[in-house]
Homo-oligomer: A and B are copies of this chain.
Amino acid sequence: MNIGIVGVTGYSGMVLYSFLINHSEVDHIYLYGNQQNEEPRRLTDEVPAFGMSEQMIYPFDSKKVMEQVDCLFFATPSGIASQLADEFIQCGFPVIDLSGDYRLSSSDEYDTWYGQPNRTLPDAAKVTYGLSEFTKSYATYVANPGCYATAALLALAPLAIEGWLDPTSIIIDAKSGVSGSGKKLAPTSQFTFINENAWVYKLNQHQHIPEMVQQLHQWDQEIEAIQFSTTLLPITRGLIANQYVRLKKQVTQEELNQLYQSYYQASQFVRFKEQHLPTIKEVTGSNFCDIGLVMNEATQVVTIVSVIDNLVKGAAGQAVQNFNKLFGFEESTGLPLLPQFP
């Protein structure tokens, strides 16, 4: 089959492209810019690292796209897909959208958190929030989860689904590499700013907050809010999240281990580690989410640590995983078997 990518020159788009050219079910990849009237550009002029390819990036034209490809990926900053995707949603054309534009089910929330006012959202049945490990059935339009949301939700899912969480206790302290902020020039993306530094940003204001609350609330309707902070780290790729929670019932470390083992033992990409708190580098370049946890007897707080590569499981990798599930391919097709280590 043929697939299309809008936004290949962004970080998620690059990684997505590098997976899909290696995907055994993909015959050809068409690349599109996000504007109608731009000139065709060579991929290798935009991304010299991709070297000797002849690939061109063509202007976006929805009619042509539908003719050329069987599935379209949006790897665009927020605000682009919401302008281009409606036609695809309406006619049930398969789309995997890596952006945040269709993750929330409330137009008010888009206004508040994304500054996207006056959104008319499509019929909820036409869009699936694709948290691959927990999504059972797929609509044709898949909203790929945010990177922070992926790490936090996979860490909390067993406790939330079981209803064990004290619903007001959830505090998430997440840290991410600089690639998470995209390619746009900004003072806070400069080497001299973030090297040898760490920076707490968007405190209580990060747009992944409503996405996490929406999903947690679906799992456990008592959950209405979370405390969430994000720290920018001097690394390029990777994300680590510490989840601090209290439970409604007394449980042991052993019971927690068993719960997580039972949830994730069949998963190809979530590795629950009983004896070992995960580190970022153990997943870099891969689609893995590694999880470890420790119950503190003194405080009755459970600390759950989860790590992902923000551009893979937090973006392009999960997009491919959703693509595979949507089309019935084996879930790991096209994805790396191991992290790039060391």
Chain A 268-285 against B: per-residue CB contact (8 Å), 1 yes, 0 no?
A: 000101001101111111
Given contacts A185-B190, A190-B191, A191-B195, contact A204 B171 (CB under 8 A): no
Check B192 against A236 for contact (C-beta < 8 Å). yes
Residues of chain B contacted by A271 (CB below 8 angstroms): 51-52
Question: What 6 pairs between A and B have smallest CB-CB spacing?
Answer: A49-B282, A173-B173, A49-B341, A197-B281, A227-B301, A18-B338
Partner of A203 from B168, B179, B294, B341 at Cβ < 8 Å: B294
User: 13 A–B contact pairs at CB < 8 A?
Assistant: A22-B337, A48-B273, A171-B301, A178-B191, A178-B195, A185-B185, A189-B190, A191-B194, A191-B195, A197-B279, A198-B238, A227-B299, A231-B242
Residues of chain B contacted by A15 (CB below 8 angstroms): 341
Partner of A21 from B204, B235, B290, B338 at Cβ < 8 Å: B338
Check B204 against A298 for contact (C-beta < 8 Å). yes
In A1-54, the 8 Å CB interface with B consists of 11, 14-15, 17-18, 21-22, 47-52
Interfacial residues, chain A to chain B (CB-CB below 8 A): 11, 14-15, 17-18, 21-22, 47-52, 168, 171, 173, 175, 177-179, 183, 185-187, 189-201, 203-204, 225-227, 229, 231, 233-238, 240, 242, 244, 271, 273, 276-277, 279-285, 288, 290, 294, 296, 298-299, 301, 303, 305, 311, 337-342
